[in-house]
Amino acid sequence: MVNKVAIVTGASRGVGRATATRLARAGICVFLAARNVDDLNQVATEINSDNGNALAIPTDVTQAQSVQDLVDQVVKETGQIDLLVNNAGVGIFESVVDSNPDNWQSVIQSNLTSIYLCSKAVLPIMIDQKSGQIINILSVAAQVAFPFASAYCAAKAGALALSNVLREEVRSEGVRVTAVLPGSINSSFWDKMEQHPDLDLMLKPHHLADTILQLAMSPADMTVESVTVTPPLGIL
């Protein structure tokens, strides 16, 4: 049995990649989940070459069977799941009146449904262990209305509500649930946007990775229900 086992979704780049790397350096066995196989394998190779312990498992977190296959493999390999970091998500920005319903569904599925599916899949293991932690990486968009981001704001607000409900359902089982609400992060999230805040003023992925590690290493007899992390100048 290893000391601690974590699943990180959206682990092929950005915050997920930084988080997986940071957790591995702290001695946590990390299972990397994302759809991009090449990028995912590269992250695993980098972690393992740095004396970490990582395994890439290509996963579509919007599909229930793919998520269950991920969890089954982790349990088969280690017999435990101590930490789930729900980080996967996409943003598509358009006005409501001009929006494409397919885009709406894509954003809801990747940012909200994925958290439901992944949490539902790991919870039987965590409840049986009488311990576990779920950290949901959301956004300040869960609480702030941004024009042209209806699907994204709705998904993040829903994910915050889901986090709060889930926490109340499982706290008596020894499972902790934390919602992390970051402001703007310098990542590929902005690549397709013609206008955006100054990237140099944003949070860096390692800021979130460090926050997640602190939460993962916090005493089991306390729960951080939510934490907001912003750049020095605010949300941006």
Nearby residues of 156 by Cβ (< 8 Å), 6 or more positions away: 111, 112, 138, 139, 141, 142
Range 160-183 average pLDDT = 97
Q: In this predicted structure, which of 82-91, 96-105, 178-187, 192-201 has the lowest mean pLDDT?
A: 192-201
Residue showing tokens 């358009």: 94
Q: Cα(27)–Cα(229) distance, rounded to whole angstroms?
A: 25
Active-site positions read 152
pLDDT tens-digit profile of 177-224?
Answer: 999 999 888 876 656 666 677 778 888 999 999 999 999 999 999 999
Q: How far is CA 71 from the centre of its chain?
A: 15
The model's pTM:
0.94
Q: CATH number of the domain at 5-229, out of 3.50.30.50, 3.40.50.1360, 3.40.50.720, 3.40.50.10440?
A: 3.40.50.720
The candidate with the shortest Cα–Cα distance to 177, out of 110, 112, 123, 125, is 123
Write the pLDDT tens digit of every residue in 64-79: 999 999 999 999 999 9
181 membership: H or E segment, kind and range: strand 175-182
Residue 191's identity, in one-letter code, is D
- Sequence-ordered alpha helix ranges (H) in the chain: 14-25, 37-49, 64-78, 101-108, 114-129, 150-170, 205-216
pLDDT on residue 193? 62
